[in-house]
Amino acid sequence: MINKTRLFRQSLIVLLLTIVASFQLMAQETASSIELKALKNSDDSRIFNVKLTGESEAGAVPVFEATVDFYTIAEGKSELVGSAVTNKEGKASLKLGKETRYLKSKEGVAEVKTSFKGLGKLIGSEASVKFKELNLQVTLSEKDTSNTIHVKASSIGPNGEMIPLKETNFNLYVQGLFSKLKIGECFVDAGEGTFEFPNNIPGDENGNLKIFVRLEENEDYGEIEKAENAKWGNHRSGFAEPERSLWSSGAPIWMITTLIILLAGVWSHYIYAIVQLIKIRKEDKKIEQK
């Protein structure tokens, strides 16, 4: 009985220590760091994603409810374009529309800096991304039994001139059930490239697919994405239900089974812990009454 009482009290202490650890970063002077990524969307807007963490003895700890400011900077000038507040995971996002005007260098390079000014004794930090403007156009064409994706890409110079892109790979994806699935690459040279779309990709009941053309982790232009819809998938009308797969509406049986087992295991541990805590509490009350 005594051991159970001690266990209950120790459990409460562990819970309190866990809560206190979340605020530990504010109690002592600690360094922070920011991860910053940018993505240009189909509508020419840009999303800037940040992750803010603070250093601790246990490693990097997310910093939540912290304000992060975003600036466009160039040639010694700086302008605030927006702010965002981090969530419990230390993440925040800012979407800037296509009408946003970024300050640029003489070479036509834009730079966006994100700044965290600090919180309590948590030291502030900064991060930045640079990119040139790229005009990306995607056209889908059908001819007989073949479907083709045409990619046209040109760099926009300092004076607005179009400079055809040279020797660059673009990744192609289709939207799956849980994530985008890569189907190939399109090589662009002299500003143009083509990709023959495979004819064995399952779509929905009408054969619809969402196709993505992405330039990823490019040193000059960053990450850019264009999305198009097409009826190029194998539809189910008049055919037997296709085998379960990641891109179909029905997930694979092995994935569903694994998920159920994992969730059952997690919740059984939660229930077991709660039941044990209740039992310990009852035993503790009995001991106090005696």
pLDDT of residue 1: 44
Task: Tell me the residue range of the domain where 9 lies.
Answer: 1-28+261-290
pLDDT of residue 182: 94
Nearest to 110 by CA among 142, 145, 81: 81
Ranking 21-30, 94-103, 146-155, 225-234 by mean pLDDT, the lowest is 21-30
pLDDT score of 5 more than 70? no
In the predicted model, what is the mean pLDDT of residues 224-242?
75
101 and 167 fall within a common domain? no
Confidence band of 166 (pLDDT split at 50, 70, 90): very high
Say if 240 falls within a structural domain: no
Say if 37 falls within a structural domain: yes
Cβ atoms of 46 and 81 closer than 8 Å? no
Confidence band of 204 (pLDDT split at 50, 70, 90): confident
Ranking 1-10, 139-148, 276-285 by mean pLDDT, the lowest is 1-10
Say if 236 falls within a structural domain: no
Question: How many CB atoms neighbour CB 68 within 10 A?
Answer: 27
pLDDT of residue 167: 94
35 and 20 fall within a common domain? no
43 and 109 fall within a common domain? yes
Where among 92, 117, 132 does a domain terminate? Answer: 132
d(CA 210, CA 197): 12
Q: Which residue shows structure tokens 């965290």?
A: 116
Cβ atoms of 218 and 132 closer than 8 Å? no
205 and 121 fall within a common domain? no
Where among 104, 132, 160 does a domain terminate? Answer: 132
- CA 63 to centroid of chain Cα atoms: 17
Count the domains in the chain.
Answer: 3
